[in-house]
Structure 1
Amino acid sequence: MSARNLYSVAPSAARLTDSLRDIGYDFPTAVADVVDNSVAAGANRVEIDIVFDGFDSWVMIADDGEGMSANGLLEALRYGSRRDYGRGDLGRYGLGLKTASLSQCRSLTVVSRRRAATARTVSRMIDLDLIAEVDDWVVAEPANDERVVKARETVADTGGTVVLWRGLDRVLPERKPEGGWARRRLEALAGRTADHLGTVFHRFLEGEVGDGLVITVNGEKVQPWNPFAPDEPSREVLPPLRFEVTVGEATGTVSLQRYVLPSRDQFSSQAEFERLSGPLNWNRQQGLYVYRAQRLVQWGGWNGMRGIDEHTKLARAALDFDTDLDVVFNINVAKIRVAMPPQLRQLLERPVHELCMRADDAYRKNSRGASEGAEVASEQLAALSRSEASGATPPMPVVGLALRAAAMRAGEYAALQRIGERLRAEAPDVAAALGFRD
């Protein structure tokens, strides 16, 4: 290298930390990014408290993982941490803890203790108001107030890490943060966060990955949401596929597992059908579910390979890759978006088309069955009318068929199914006589 003058131009800490708050997180995805660190630290339990207290509202995320030393904690609070990330590590850029937390709050405090008996509890804080005041990349030792004392007590015996968010300026309204609307908003965010965590970490919560993970939000255990309906006997599973992908110096394996979910009438219950519709509902939940190191990072849609179609709404597929292909998928900092590499897109087009054809066929068979059933029931309805005209009492099965025909014509067949479920529970003899069978 030829000799030349070099100049160090450090960025303004106040300006840059403020800009990094808009990197793309919402509240649930920010919490999930912190939980990634807990999973990477070997935690078996993560407890999340989202507590309304007006202007002093706070969020605490506590785990029983490995914990950190004083030096390790300082490094974790460095923007662009120098730590190395191994294969399968949920972290990537060394930004997640800071950018995720400070996208929602102005004060981030971390209290940690390693599991070793000789370890000591350490606590450090990033405060945006302090950084704005001194315009430097500073980390402070927090005051030993009520929240910090509680955090230290949490990790005192078993070790682990507690992340504390305060100054929730991006969560609570700027005006009247103590009002009823603010309280309801925080309660709603707690519910959305539980649903989001149940989705993105469902493999960990189900015990498919690791030693079993338990996550609680405000004391309530998070339930996993598996998009592929593993407990439904009528689900169709297509043969798995694996692809070798090489882009530049990055080489790795991508796996594809395809599913055709049951139609409404083939689900074990109406409630389960509604639950599996997912947060986006059936049409927009169809498509690829992309997993990075077993953690769901993107779901729904076909990544530009085809459009959303009512006839393929039962088609869902799991696409898995590991962290050695991060650069190929261009995973973003918030871990909520991937870019499909062109090479892989070409490999996926045929199996995705096959999956959609199978889903379309399942959808149309069900539609044809319902249509044929309606025609038969319509004939029985006509027979019922003739029986009434002659003064004869129609048999109960004919009455049941007539009810189904009328419900289909009125577009209320789902409501009739729910009525049938209730009848089977409360008056099974009547349900059987009307033909409402399981």
Structure 2
Amino acid sequence: MFVRFGNLVDAWYVFGKMEERDVFSWNVLVGGYAKGGFFDEALCLYHRMLWAGIRPDVYTFPCVLRTCGGAPDLVRGREVHVHVIRYGFESDVDVVNALITMYVKCGDVLHARLVFDRMQRRDRISWNAMISGYFQNGVCLEGLRLFFMMRELSIDPDLMTMTSVISACELLGDGRLGREIHGYVIKTEFGVEASVHNSLIQMYSSVGYWEAAEKAFSRMDYKDLVSWTAMISGYENNGLPVEAVETYRKMELEGIMPDEIAIASVLSACACLGLLDVGIKLHELAKRTGLISYVIVANTLIDMYSKCKCIDKALEVFNRIPDKNVISWTSIILGLRINNRCFEALIFFRQMIPSLKPNSVTLISVLSACARIGALMCGKEIHAHALRTGLGFDGYLPNALLDVYVRCGRMGACMEPI
């Protein structure tokens, strides 16, 4: 009872008072510590159980293996695998399924597949664990091959596998395969699952199939926060800011509070459209709900205020960010540049250099400031920095460098060694 309600202190006290402890009592306590996230303690209990001469049973190993996967601790997981073989449980489907899950959670899909291939009998959980494991570790093509093999054997996927398959189509950028999977979803019980529809919306948005994304969204009986956020961020990421703002307004009417991703996406749309009034309301909402603490929200606020010509507000937001990342610095440098405060942009760049490594977007932004004010020496320093860090030919950086030299009347310097 104590374990069920997470009261591990009292559970341990009762366990310590027991005159005789059988394998069931050990299993319950190990499982309780594992469920509470105390993985090291759970594994120590397992070893104490072995030292006490208690033989593990079919319920012990799935629990201990889940603990190894949760840690994750591959070394201990392999040790438990040896115990599984030693105690003769290598043919038990539930135990072997737990082994597969442990290996994939520890990032060892090769050993997970070896265990899977050696199984004499596989159930639905075996297939789903292996397929989901491939997707979780980024081995999408192998996961899809196994998924289609499973379907040929008329074994049904579970919810996690289905959402993982759709996400794999997104990662591979394969909209045609995504449509095929969608067709399968409609014929199954997954057609009413919100999480599956959310994955479909995100997949279609990612590959640019907007009509399909909108249809999947409109056919949902219940749209949760993830559904709305997927549509809003999808519109914004694909250069459709008007649709992003309209969708956010519909979400507001439904009484659904946005998360940090939704707010950041709408703020980016406001920046594109120059909707300062909407941006200010979102800023106030972010402060009230505490979402302003997310750096992604603060960064998009800087971008929005900068593009709406409110650079002082952008600076105010920037100065209040406790842990500024590269995007924070890049956003304010670009903001200062587009508001014609180029000298300040250069000052901020010099402040950034000691603590963070700029990316190509940062360098392009500060080079634009150099070109604007004719700061040739600063431009040459940045050129040298770009070459040292391997960014000299990244993206539009060569064009930005050319712009600096041309505007400073030093076209020949482009060809000179730094």
Structure 1-normalised TM-score?
A: 0.21
Structure 2-normalised TM-score?
A: 0.21
More helix by share: 2
Instruction: Choose between structure 1 and 2 for higher RCO, CA contacts under 8 A separated by at least 6 residues.
Output: 1
More strand by share: 1
